[in-house]
Amino acid sequence: MTKQAKIIAAAAAAVFLIAVILSVYILRKTPENRIEIVQDGKLLYTFNLNTAENQSIRIPAADGGYNSVVIEDGTVRVETADCPDQTCVRMGTLKSEHLPLVCLPHKLIVRFAEEGAA
């Protein structure tokens, strides 16, 4: 193996290791179980997932659309939406404080509440 090939292999290994570490950091489960549902910068709902009852909340959007957010067995997800790309639905359940559930067309964010927020 040439010196240049060894350098490339070492760089690739370093990039892979950094990617794995960042993935674990970003996707780790947050200890906080309070969530916020925010639309267009306005806080609509706050729930504690440890005590919230199973429920489905239909959130209307300003453009006439909607998102249906489901709280079930201590988890939260966007179950249905009428947005064109369905990214918010495909994201699955909220797992990390670093990766909120987002519906850009309807300006909706489902996220873990920040520490110290009431």
Domain range annotation of the chain? 1-30, 34-112
Q: Is the pLDDT of residue 116 over 70?
A: no
**pLDDT tens across 11-42, in order?**
999 999 999 988 887 776 555 689 999 999 99
pLDDT for 11 equals 93
| Predicted structure pTM score | 0.71
Question: Is the model more confident about 60 or about 50?
Answer: 60
Mean pLDDT value across the chain:
89
80-97: b (≥16 Cβ within 10 Å) or e: ebebeeeebbebeebbeb
From 52, 36, 18, select the one nearest 94 (Cα to Cα).
36
* 14 secondary structure, DSSP code: H
pLDDT for 117 equals 52
From 112, 28, 114, 118, select the one nearest 74 (Cα to Cα).
112
The CATH superfamily of 34-112 is N-utilization substance G protein NusG, insert domain (2.60.320.10)
CA gap 115, 55 in Å, rounded: 24
**pLDDT tens across 58-72, in order?**
999 998 999 999 999
What is the mean predicted confidence (pLDDT) over 47-55? 92
pLDDT for 98 equals 85
Q: How many Cα atoms occupy the beta-carbon half-sphere of 41 within 13 Å?
A: 0
* 40 secondary structure, DSSP code: T
